[in-house]
Amino acid sequence: MKRREDRRLCALCRKRKAKFSYDGKVKCDRQHDLCFRCFRSLATSQAVKTMKVETNMVFVFGSNTEGIHGAGAAKFALQHHGANFGQGHGKQGNSYAIATRTVEQGNPYIVDLPFDAVKANVAAFVEHAKANPQDEFQVTQIGTGHAGFTSEQMAPLFLDAPANCLFDSAWEPWLGITKQYWGTF
Protein backbone atom coordinates (compact mmCIF):
# COMPACT_ATOMS: atom_id res chain seq x y z
CA MET A 1 0.00 0.00 0.00
CA LYS A 2 1.31 3.46 -0.93
CA ARG A 3 2.18 5.87 1.78
CA ARG A 4 0.43 9.23 1.66
CA GLU A 5 3.72 11.06 0.96
CA ASP A 6 4.42 8.83 -2.08
CA ARG A 7 1.14 9.79 -3.72
CA ARG A 8 2.14 13.46 -3.63
CA LEU A 9 5.50 12.94 -5.33
CA CYS A 10 6.01 13.25 -9.06
CA ALA A 11 5.47 9.91 -10.78
CA LEU A 12 8.55 10.41 -13.02
CA CYS A 13 11.30 11.88 -10.88
CA ARG A 14 9.93 10.90 -7.44
CA LYS A 15 11.69 14.01 -6.02
CA ARG A 16 9.28 16.94 -6.29
CA LYS A 17 5.63 17.43 -5.37
CA ALA A 18 3.09 16.60 -8.09
CA LYS A 19 1.26 19.88 -7.52
CA PHE A 20 3.23 23.02 -8.23
CA SER A 21 2.83 26.74 -7.81
CA TYR A 22 3.02 28.93 -10.90
CA ASP A 23 2.34 32.68 -10.81
CA GLY A 24 1.16 32.24 -7.24
CA LYS A 25 -1.52 29.68 -8.15
CA VAL A 26 -1.43 26.00 -7.30
CA LYS A 27 -1.54 23.98 -10.51
CA CYS A 28 -1.11 20.38 -11.59
CA ASP A 29 -1.21 18.24 -14.70
CA ARG A 30 -4.47 16.54 -15.66
CA GLN A 31 -3.70 13.32 -13.76
CA HIS A 32 -2.22 15.19 -10.76
CA ASP A 33 0.91 13.03 -10.79
CA LEU A 34 3.73 15.15 -12.32
CA CYS A 35 5.81 18.02 -11.00
CA PHE A 36 6.17 21.20 -13.07
CA ARG A 37 9.63 20.31 -14.45
CA CYS A 38 8.60 16.83 -15.59
CA PHE A 39 5.29 18.10 -16.95
CA ARG A 40 7.04 20.80 -19.04
CA SER A 41 9.67 18.39 -20.36
CA LEU A 42 6.97 15.95 -21.47
CA ALA A 43 4.85 18.70 -23.03
CA THR A 44 7.89 20.08 -24.90
CA SER A 45 8.97 16.67 -26.18
CA GLN A 46 5.42 15.94 -27.40
CA ALA A 47 5.34 19.27 -29.25
CA VAL A 48 8.72 18.47 -30.82
CA LYS A 49 7.45 15.06 -31.94
CA THR A 50 4.42 16.70 -33.54
CA MET A 51 6.55 19.33 -35.28
CA LYS A 52 9.13 16.84 -36.57
CA VAL A 53 6.48 15.40 -38.90
CA GLU A 54 6.88 18.53 -41.04
CA THR A 55 10.70 18.61 -41.27
CA ASN A 56 10.65 18.48 -45.08
CA MET A 57 9.08 21.95 -45.05
CA VAL A 58 10.99 25.18 -44.55
CA PHE A 59 10.06 26.38 -41.06
CA VAL A 60 9.18 30.12 -41.17
CA PHE A 61 9.46 31.94 -37.85
CA GLY A 62 9.56 35.41 -36.30
CA SER A 63 13.00 36.63 -35.30
CA ASN A 64 14.86 39.71 -34.20
CA THR A 65 17.34 41.59 -36.36
CA GLU A 66 20.25 40.37 -34.23
CA GLY A 67 19.40 36.69 -34.73
CA ILE A 68 19.16 35.95 -31.01
CA HIS A 69 16.90 32.91 -31.28
CA GLY A 70 16.25 32.51 -27.57
CA ALA A 71 12.56 31.67 -27.24
CA GLY A 72 9.41 30.43 -28.95
CA ALA A 73 9.44 29.40 -32.60
CA ALA A 74 12.87 31.03 -33.09
CA LYS A 75 14.42 28.75 -30.47
CA PHE A 76 12.65 25.77 -32.05
CA ALA A 77 14.09 26.77 -35.46
CA LEU A 78 17.56 27.05 -33.93
CA GLN A 79 17.34 23.62 -32.29
CA HIS A 80 15.53 21.65 -34.98
CA HIS A 81 15.62 23.45 -38.34
CA GLY A 82 19.16 24.76 -38.76
CA ALA A 83 18.57 28.44 -37.96
CA ASN A 84 21.85 30.30 -37.46
CA PHE A 85 22.45 32.20 -34.23
CA GLY A 86 23.30 35.78 -35.22
CA GLN A 87 21.31 35.75 -38.49
CA GLY A 88 17.99 37.55 -38.11
CA HIS A 89 16.75 37.54 -41.71
CA GLY A 90 16.18 35.12 -44.53
CA LYS A 91 16.82 31.47 -45.33
CA GLN A 92 19.06 29.52 -42.97
CA GLY A 93 19.26 25.76 -42.83
CA ASN A 94 15.74 24.39 -43.21
CA SER A 95 14.19 27.60 -41.89
CA TYR A 96 13.44 31.20 -42.84
CA ALA A 97 13.59 34.12 -40.37
CA ILE A 98 11.28 37.13 -40.63
CA ALA A 99 12.46 39.93 -38.33
CA THR A 100 9.74 41.40 -36.12
CA ARG A 101 11.94 42.73 -33.29
CA THR A 102 15.24 44.61 -32.93
CA VAL A 103 17.79 46.01 -30.48
CA GLU A 104 17.86 49.80 -30.34
CA GLN A 105 21.04 51.80 -29.82
CA GLY A 106 21.52 52.45 -26.11
CA ASN A 107 18.66 50.14 -25.08
CA PRO A 108 19.69 46.73 -23.69
CA TYR A 109 16.26 45.22 -24.43
CA ILE A 110 14.86 43.77 -27.61
CA VAL A 111 11.93 45.90 -28.81
CA ASP A 112 9.29 45.54 -31.52
CA LEU A 113 10.12 46.75 -35.01
CA PRO A 114 7.75 49.38 -36.43
CA PHE A 115 4.83 47.71 -38.21
CA ASP A 116 5.90 49.09 -41.60
CA ALA A 117 9.32 47.42 -41.22
CA VAL A 118 7.65 44.11 -40.32
CA LYS A 119 5.38 44.51 -43.34
CA ALA A 120 8.45 44.97 -45.59
CA ASN A 121 10.10 41.87 -44.08
CA VAL A 122 6.97 39.80 -44.72
CA ALA A 123 6.84 41.10 -48.31
CA ALA A 124 10.48 40.00 -48.78
CA PHE A 125 9.55 36.51 -47.56
CA VAL A 126 6.54 36.34 -49.90
CA GLU A 127 8.83 37.22 -52.83
CA HIS A 128 11.28 34.51 -51.71
CA ALA A 129 8.47 31.95 -51.56
CA LYS A 130 7.29 32.93 -55.06
CA ALA A 131 10.86 32.61 -56.37
CA ASN A 132 11.22 29.13 -54.85
CA PRO A 133 8.09 27.16 -55.87
CA GLN A 134 9.93 23.86 -55.32
CA ASP A 135 9.98 24.50 -51.53
CA GLU A 136 7.05 24.26 -49.13
CA PHE A 137 6.98 26.81 -46.32
CA GLN A 138 5.52 26.07 -42.88
CA VAL A 139 4.56 29.56 -41.69
CA THR A 140 4.06 30.01 -37.93
CA GLN A 141 2.07 32.86 -36.37
CA ILE A 142 4.80 35.40 -37.13
CA GLY A 143 4.85 38.43 -34.82
CA THR A 144 2.05 37.32 -32.51
CA GLY A 145 4.24 36.06 -29.67
CA HIS A 146 7.02 38.21 -28.25
CA ALA A 147 6.59 40.95 -30.86
CA GLY A 148 3.09 41.62 -29.55
CA PHE A 149 1.21 42.10 -32.80
CA THR A 150 -2.20 40.49 -33.19
CA SER A 151 -3.22 37.79 -35.66
CA GLU A 152 -5.65 40.33 -37.08
CA GLN A 153 -2.68 42.59 -37.94
CA MET A 154 -0.22 39.92 -39.09
CA ALA A 155 -2.21 37.31 -41.03
CA PRO A 156 -3.44 39.70 -43.78
CA LEU A 157 0.19 40.52 -44.63
CA PHE A 158 0.39 36.98 -46.07
CA LEU A 159 -2.68 37.20 -48.34
CA ASP A 160 -0.43 37.43 -51.43
CA ALA A 161 1.66 34.41 -50.41
CA PRO A 162 1.83 31.64 -53.04
CA ALA A 163 0.30 28.17 -52.74
CA ASN A 164 3.59 26.67 -51.47
CA CYS A 165 3.03 28.47 -48.13
CA LEU A 166 1.11 26.54 -45.49
CA PHE A 167 -0.09 28.51 -42.49
CA ASP A 168 -0.83 27.97 -38.83
CA SER A 169 -4.50 27.00 -38.65
CA ALA A 170 -5.13 29.77 -36.10
CA TRP A 171 -4.92 32.23 -39.00
CA GLU A 172 -7.72 30.65 -41.04
CA PRO A 173 -10.28 33.30 -39.97
CA TRP A 174 -8.11 35.98 -41.63
CA LEU A 175 -6.65 34.06 -44.57
CA GLY A 176 -9.76 32.10 -45.53
CA ILE A 177 -10.32 28.72 -47.13
CA THR A 178 -8.21 29.42 -50.20
CA LYS A 179 -4.98 28.95 -48.21
CA GLN A 180 -3.54 25.66 -46.92
CA TYR A 181 -2.93 25.00 -43.22
CA TRP A 182 -0.49 22.69 -41.48
CA GLY A 183 -1.70 22.77 -37.85
CA THR A 184 -0.52 24.95 -35.00
CA PHE A 185 2.67 25.65 -33.03
Tens digit of pLDDT for each residue in 16-37? 776 655 555 555 545 556 666 6
> Could you read off the pLDDT of 80-89 as tens digits, one per residue?
899 999 999 9
The residues, ordered by sequence, that sit 6+ positions from 153 with a Cβ below 8 Å of its Cβ are 115, 143
Domain, as residue range, for 83: 55-183
**Is residue 90 located within the same domain as residue 153?**
yes
**Is residue 40 located within the same domain as residue 68?**
no
Name the domain count of the chain. 2
Please state the rounded mean pLDDT for residues 64-93.
91
Please state the rounded mean pLDDT for residues 84-113.
90
Q: What is the pLDDT of residue 113?
A: 94
**Is residue 84 located within the same domain as residue 21?**
no
**Is residue 8 located within the same domain as residue 83?**
no
Q: Which residues of 161-183 are buried (b: 16+ CB within 10 A; e: fewer)?
A: beebbbbbbbbeebbeeebeebe
Residue 63 confidence (pLDDT) above 60: yes
**Is residue 88 located within the same domain as residue 133?**
yes
Report the alpha-carbon distance of residue 97 to residue 14 in Å, rounded.
Answer: 40
Please state the rounded mean pLDDT for residues 146-163.
95
Residue 184 confidence (pLDDT) above 50: yes
**Is residue 152 located within the same domain as residue 85?**
yes
Report the alpha-carbon distance of residue 110 to residue 64 in Å, rounded.
Answer: 8
**Is residue 11 located within the same domain as residue 95?**
no
**Is residue 91 located within the same domain as residue 75?**
yes
**Is residue 96 located within the same domain as residue 149?**
yes
Record the pTM.
Answer: 0.70
